[in-house]
Amino acid sequence: MTKPGKRMRQAREEIERGKPYELAEAIRLVKERAVAKFDETIEVAINLGVDPRHSDQMVRGVIALPNGTGRSVRVAVFAKDAKAEEATQAGADIVGAEDLAEKIQAGQIDFDRCIATPDMMPLVGRLGKILGPRNLMPNPKVGTVTPDVAEAVKAAKGGAVEFRVEKAGIVHAGVGKASFDGPKLAENVKALMDAIAKAKPSGAKGTFFKRVAISSTMGPGVRVDPASVL
């Protein structure tokens, strides 16, 4: 069996370290090196010229990628009565209220996205220490606290991606699968970058997009020239 270190060294051949590639070429290099036995996720890492410790430099939002993510997303919804029924009919995997809160408190977090109706937020708020660190806390700014739970569920299932800048000023997001063709991946990357550009905070000074890199789950990163994306 080939050792991972050797495989990674082979994968890095042809890639000039530190060189920013045009988006289409970067995607080609990444796809060629996505040789794992599963359909690897294509991920983008974007270094932004912000310090998220300051409230006026936080970057977050949601974007429905034009070609989806290729990933099956499990959605949990906090809702009651008619809204709970709407969420179920829209395809939510888990729907509940106090019973769902108890499961989460017991460590049963088998979902990727959490949505809540506004009236459920006093209950959901008590779960902040559990859901917050996992980036699962419902938030009206990204459309996961809403009375229209059916649309929110459909968006989550259809390829909506939440993005949020981390402490180091980096946004990470999955933009598709290695099985996607190059133009579809490029379209998804450009849609994500456009959404982040529109979410540029008032406190951001200087160069906003400092560095962009793309990689597959198991493959090496390839730098991307931001000018080829924007």
Instruction: Note the pLDDT tens digit of each residue in 133-149.
Output: 998 999 998 899 999 99
- Asked whether the predicted pLDDT for residue 13 surpasses 80, the reply is no
pLDDT recorded at residue 1: 44
Query: For the ranges 35-39, 131-135, 157-161, 192-196, which has the lowest average pLDDT?
Result: 157-161
- The pLDDT mean for the chain works out to 92
pLDDT recorded at residue 173: 93
Provide mean pLDDT across the span 71-91. Answer: 95
Provide mean pLDDT across the span 189-210. Answer: 93
* Model confidence, pTM: 0.78
How many angstroms separate the CA atoms of 178 and 183, rounded? 12
pLDDT recorded at residue 230: 81
**pLDDT, tens digit, 9 for 90 and up, residues 165-190:** 998 999 999 999 999 999 999 999 99
pLDDT recorded at residue 219: 92
With beta carbons less than 8 A apart as the criterion, state whether 172 and 44 touch: yes
Q: Which residue has the tokens 């890095």?
A: 12
- CA atoms 123, 127, 132, 136: torsion sign: negative
Provide mean pLDDT across the span 65-71. Answer: 91
- Asked whether the predicted pLDDT for residue 63 surpasses 60, the reply is yes
Which SS3 state, helix, strand or coil, does residue 199 take? coil
How many angstroms separate the CA atoms of 23 and 27, rounded? 6
Name the token pair of 169: 């000023």
How many angstroms separate the CA atoms of 127 and 136, rounded? 10
How many angstroms separate the CA atoms of 189 and 69, rounded? 11
pLDDT tier, 115 (very low <50, low <70, confident <90, very high otherwise): very high
Instruction: Identify the CA nearest to 16 among candidates 29, 28, 2.
Output: 29
Q: Which fold has domain 16-68+161-228?
A: Ribulose 1,5 Bisphosphate Carboxylase/Oxygenase (3.30.190)
- Asked whether the predicted pLDDT for residue 93 surpasses 80, the reply is yes
pLDDT recorded at residue 4: 52
pLDDT recorded at residue 167: 85
Residue 24, C-beta contacts closer than 8 angstroms, at least 6 positions apart: 182, 186, 228
Place domain 75-158 in its CATH homologous superfamily: Ribosomal protein L1/L10, domain II (3.40.50.790)
Which SS3 state, helix, strand or coil, does residue 114 take? strand
Q: What are the sequence ranges of the domains in the chain?
A: 16-68+161-228, 75-158
Amino acid sitting at position 184: K
Instruction: Identify the CA nearest to 180 among candidates 68, 44, 63, 73.
Output: 68
pLDDT recorded at residue 205: 87
pLDDT recorded at residue 144: 94
How many angstroms separate the CA atoms of 128 and 122, rounded? 11
How many angstroms separate the CA atoms of 20 and 98, rounded? 50
Provide mean pLDDT across the span 52-81. Answer: 92
DSSP string, 115-172: EE-GGGHHHHHTTHHHHGGGT----GGGT-B-S-HHHHHHHHHTTEEEEE--TTSEEE
